[in-house]
A and B are shown apart, each in its own frame.
Chain A
């Protein structure tokens, strides 16, 4: 007689991270369905979830959500271990590093908006550097970098504003 599968214990934290990561994956996949007017530029709204996680549940939860988002998102889109995946992962890691540095330097002075701008610029920089180092080793592509960084600033402000609004809603006690 087969033995019943043993259930892994899941803590409340694990479940929360799974829910948040699932939300981020859903946003990531939906966003991938829309064609981008400029290659390399996407609003990156999934980062709204990562920033909310950082502000509400801390640094380790945000890291878990970001990495899960990249891996599970790429499995859904069929890009796992492809160049797209590498770019996505390097962007996410660079964004987290940038946010981590700014967070330790002066996290109390910032809202989701500042963090989101830092993450967005970090994401673009990490991704661009990997794209240049591994895939398009042409110095000419650096002329695109300022344009993409301008877009990053705008998209960072947008997703930061969304994250800030959601956090404010979550912190207001419901009547």
Chain B
């Protein structure tokens, strides 16, 4: 290998490092949560005060805990409880849903940040 080869490899590694830094940086901290239940309009909940929310769905009551800029499901009347096991959400653009009970918690930042856009 000549010196030029080493230069190319080093620059390539730096570029790839920068790409990881750029594309893998998580979104901004969330400002508030939008909680959707069934077909009702979403409820907007601030994330700075500690609260336990009871959200009614077709199967029963899902419980959502909100505090310190984060939100999580603490209980849900579904079978698998993927929503509960997912744990805390804390970045804008993140979404957890209890699909059987039709409850969706979506975190929104100061600017709306999407986890994906398709058209």
In angstroms, how far is the closest chain B Cβ from the Cβ of A102?
Answer: 7
A146–B12 Cα distance when bound, in Å, is 11
A156–B11 Cα distance when bound, in Å, is 14
Q: Which residue of B lies closest to A113 (CB)?
A: B5
Which residues of A sit under 8 angstroms from B116, Cβ to Cβ?
Answer: 138-140
A142–B115 Cα distance when bound, in Å, is 12
A153 on the B face (CB < 8 A): yes
A157–B16 Cα distance when bound, in Å, is 15
**CB atoms of B5 and A145 under 8 A apart:** no
A29 on the B face (CB < 8 A): no
Contact A117 B117, CB 8 Å, known A106-B4, A146-B20? no
Which residues of B sit under 8 angstroms from A150, Cβ to Cβ?
Answer: 16
**CB atoms of B23 and A146 under 8 A apart:** yes
B59 on the A face (CB < 8 A): no
Total number of A residues with any Cβ neighbor in B under 8 Å: 24
A63–B1 Cα distance when bound, in Å, is 24
Which residues of A sit under 8 angstroms from B24, Cβ to Cβ?
Answer: 143, 146
Which residues of A sit under 8 angstroms from B8, Cβ to Cβ?
Answer: 102, 110, 114, 117-118
B9 on the A face (CB < 8 A): yes
**CB atoms of A139 and B117 under 8 A apart:** yes
Total number of B residues with any Cβ neighbor in A under 8 Å: 21
Task: Encode contact with B along A97-127: 1 for CB under 8 Å, 0 otherwise.
Answer: 0000010001011110110011001000000
In angstroms, how far is the closest chain B Cβ from the Cβ of A8?
Answer: 40
B-contacting residues, A151-175, CB 8 Å: 153, 156-157
Which residues of A sit under 8 angstroms from B13, Cβ to Cβ?
Answer: 153
Q: Which residue of A lies closest to B119 (CB)?
A: A137
Can you list 28 A-B pairs with a CB-CB distance of less than 8 A? Answer: A106-B4, A108-B4, A109-B2, A109-B3, A110-B2, A110-B4, A111-B1, A113-B1, A114-B1, A114-B5, A117-B5, A117-B9, A118-B8, A118-B12, A137-B119, A138-B116, A138-B117, A145-B19, A145-B23, A146-B16, A146-B20, A146-B23, A149-B15, A149-B16, A153-B9, A153-B16, A156-B12, A157-B9
Q: Which residues of B contact A (CB under 8 A)?
A: 1-5, 7-9, 12-13, 15-16, 19-20, 23-24, 115-119
